[in-house]
Structure 1
Amino acid sequence: MTRHCFAEAVTEEQSKQKKAVPSPALQPNSIALPSPRRTPRNTCLSPVTISDNTAAACKVCAKESSNDITLKKCAKCKTQWYCSRECQKADWKTHKKTCGKNADETFANTNSTNRSCPQNLEVFIEKPFHQLHSKRWLHDRPEKDVYKLLIDTYRMRMEDQYTIEGEVDEDSIYSGRPDSRDGFRRFLRLVEKKRGLLPPWWSPEKAKACVAYGLNKDNWSSLDCCAEKGDFVEHYGDPTFPMQMRMFGEQIYGRGPGGQPGFQMMQMMMQAEKGEIQTSLLNMHR
């Protein structure tokens, strides 16, 4: 197979902004940097989503759906229904033993044509890995969706750089700054240099609006909080979303997280979108 490479030399501007971070695991006695603020996340329970009126009853108390009771389902595995957060908490000790397995089976049995739309985006883009391959991942989306994806691609990259490579950008929240506006502006300049990645309507005014969106503390895609891979999966409701953002980031930076190229995985995901291979055969934890 011919290897396609997005690699480009890291710019002097990029290298100047990075500094190494001592690994806490390897150097337990070293002085740690201030812990960056993270997007609030329930690490114990999967959030629930609004029902589609197909549930019979709450698994715990057996209450049925009615005008007064809206049943909700576990957002991770989408197999168990509850009438309240209290019932979900009561069942978690038992449910957590099968939740991950059920989630894997649910995703494996779901192909690109009948997958539910990602959460928290206004428009659903079919075959996102084909769009990535053609460098049109941000095209044909509303402005607000583009702002969210640019901000979260940057946040995903900063998290990977911190956890995988042991480095932080000095102009980001990971170095102790109150927010990452300066680092994100630098990120946008890199994107703007990559011909065709941004939609045709992009302009300096839109760049300012994008930064302003990220500085609005009411928005989940925020430049004053960092987020982990699992946060993005839960927020967008799509196990492949971190992979999509990492591949888009590779097109911007010229290299994948930790130097790992994503082209081969992109080819396999495109095959899955065409139904040529089963997604259950792929490693979704890239």
Structure 2
Amino acid sequence: MAACTTCNKEEPAVQLKRCAKCSTTPYCSRECQKADWRAHKRICGKQADSFANANVHDPDEMSQSPKKGLEKSVPNPFTRLDNGTYLHNRPEKDVYRLLIDTYRLRMDDMYNLEGQADGDSLYGGASDGLRGFQRFLRQASVRRGVLPSWWTPEKQQECEALGMDSSQWQNLTKTTSKQEIIDYYGDPRFPMQLRMLGEAVYLSAPGGGDGSQMRKMMAAMEGG
């Protein structure tokens, strides 16, 4: 029977959730996960690699992503990430959606993996994530090649307005999670794509790791 890695409490006495990054190590609470993070971060990346390998199917099946949720799916997303062109040659609104959900997932990862919350995020008590998202966009704008060539201050305003539209799923007044991202986009590898895009902006992976080896491995599987 599965038990919390830190306190060894078992189900059904507690409800276990697995580490959002490696999808392997179980914890009963954020406190237990935070207490184990120093030890767990040494193996988290390797476990994430193993989980990804176990969930890789036919390369043809992997090539177009996502299955739903955007106006247009694209071929070889991990190759595009490795080449720094992930947001290029997409419909404008798809770029906006991807940026919003990259930010939202990063805030969720910070809270659940590191026990931290930006003061201008929903996890830090803000009524919406707009200010934090604006800060994220400023960082993205200084990372060479991350944003498409058509990006302007006016396009940023359009992106922010989409994020504040409560009728949109990509909504800065609501949190999201890895599982919600998978369910909405219909692609179990889509959270990994958003995390890698976030790494290109923040210059580190969730939990302070380095996802470059995983990115290159996934790109190689696409034939890139």
Q: TM-score range by the shorter chain?
A: 0.7 to 0.9
Instruction: Name which one, 1 or 2, has greater alpha-carbon Rg.
Output: 1
| Structure 1 equivalent of residue 174 of structure 2 | 225
Does the aligned pair in 1 maintain the 2:64–2:75 contact within 8 Å? no
| Structure 1 equivalent of residue 71 of structure 2 | 122
Give the unaligned 5+ runs of structure 1.
1-22, 28-103, 276-286
Does the aligned pair in 2 maintain the 1:159–1:226 contact within 8 Å? yes
More helix by share: 2
| Structure 2 equivalent of residue 263 of structure 1 | 212
Let me know the Cα RMSD of the aligned residues: 2.3
What displacement does 1:24 show?
A: 3.6
* Aligned residue type for 1:249: G
How many aligned positions are there? Answer: 177
In structure 1, the residue corresponding to 2:75 is in which secondary structure? coil
Q: Judging changes above 3 Å, is the alpha-carbon distance between structure 1 residues 214 and 230 closer, same or farther for their aligned structure 2 residues?
A: same
| Structure 1 equivalent of residue 160 of structure 2 | 211
What displacement does 1:111 show?
A: 2.1
Does the aligned pair in 1 maintain the 2:204–2:210 contact within 8 Å? yes
Structure 2: distance between partners of 1:204 and 1:259: 30
Cα deviations by residue, 1:181-216 (Å, 9 ceiling, x for unpaired): 000000000000111110111000010110110000
Q: Judging changes above 3 Å, is the alpha-carbon distance between structure 1 residues 268 and 26 closer, same or farther for their aligned structure 2 residues?
A: closer
In structure 1, the residue corresponding to 2:219 is in which secondary structure? helix
| 1:239 matches 2:159 | no
Structure 1: distance between partners of 2:187 and 2:70: 12
Does the aligned pair in 2 maintain the 1:173–1:226 contact within 8 Å? yes
Q: Judging changes above 3 Å, is the alpha-carbon distance between structure 1 residues 116 and 189 closer, same or farther for their aligned structure 2 residues?
A: closer
- Of the three residues 127, 151, 164, the one matched with 1:178 is 127
Structure 2: distance between partners of 1:144 and 1:246: 19
Q: Judging changes above 3 Å, is the alpha-carbon distance between structure 1 residues 147 and 161 closer, same or farther for their aligned structure 2 residues?
A: same
What displacement does 1:114 show?
A: 6.8
Per mean C-alpha deviation after superposition, the further-off stretch among 198-207 and 116-125 is 116-125
What displacement does 1:221 show?
A: 0.4
Cα deviations by residue, 1:130-185 (Å, 9 ceiling, x for unpaired): 10011100000001100000000001110110000110000011112110100000
What displacement does 1:116 show?
A: 5.9
Does the aligned pair in 1 maintain the 2:105–2:176 contact within 8 Å? yes
TM-score scaled to structure 2, two decimals? 0.74
Cα deviations by residue, 1:27-58 (Å, 9 ceiling, x for unpaired): 9xxxxxxxxxxxxxxxxxxxxxxxxxxxxxxx
| Structure 1 equivalent of residue 96 of structure 2 | 147
